[in-house]
A and B are shown apart, each in its own frame.
Chain A
């Protein structure tokens, strides 16, 4: 079991570029989420999904899109990167009230 995996580990973008952060889990969890963590802060919810084909917005969804075509994958797309999106991004899956986090993607937008 690889658990929750994320790629890339680190990415540098220029303002206005787009990119996709990948997230995959092999635990057959229906519930998946994306969070961002800014320096010295806890995590804030961006988007989440309760199952394939179903997504919803979290606390800070602006500037991000998601889709969920399979149970395993939950990619996060940055449409037009801005410096305010510099952060560490965590993907998580959930079962039985417990969340399992991926290792994170560190994103720097110049």
Chain B
């Protein structure tokens, strides 16, 4: 299966700031997802984005499959954006995912 790397590992922002999280993968992918794990542990699917750009409110994501990376943009960050952001790519095990190590985001009031 592919290897997934994420950067930065930790990020601290002041409320209202913008940020970019990066995900690199070792091989071409036909499926890539971004997840947010909130401080209570719940995992929420943010984007299914094998290629191109998608936007959902203050969040947007871009995947450049040919260059093997994906970016997650958070604009005007809020304290509720805190948590860990994972990107995940396809595994050799059916339609499941291999997860990157995550980026831990802390948004301060």
Instruction: Give A residues with C-beta under 8 Å from B.
Output: 31, 33, 40-45, 48, 50, 56-59, 88, 90, 94, 96-101, 103-104
Contacts and interface: CB of A to CB of B under 8 A. Distances in A.
A31 B97 CA distance: 13
Interface stretch (B13-21, B41-49, B63-71, B72-80): B41-49
A101 B43 contact: yes
Contacts, number: 66
B107 to A, nearest CB: 20
A43 B99 contact: yes
Contacts of B91: 45, 58-59
B101 A33 contact: no
* Interface residue SS majority, chain A: strand
B100 interface: yes
B41 A98 contact: no
Interface residues of B, number: 24
Interface of B: 4, 31, 33, 35, 41-45, 48, 50, 86, 88, 91, 93-102
A46 to B, nearest CB: 10
Nearest to B91: A45
B31 A97 contact: yes
Contacts of A97: 31, 33, 48, 50, 95
Given A42-B102, A103-B42, A104-B41, A48 B33 contact: no
A21 B90 CA distance: 25
Given A41-B101, A58-B96, A59-B91, A103 B41 contact: yes
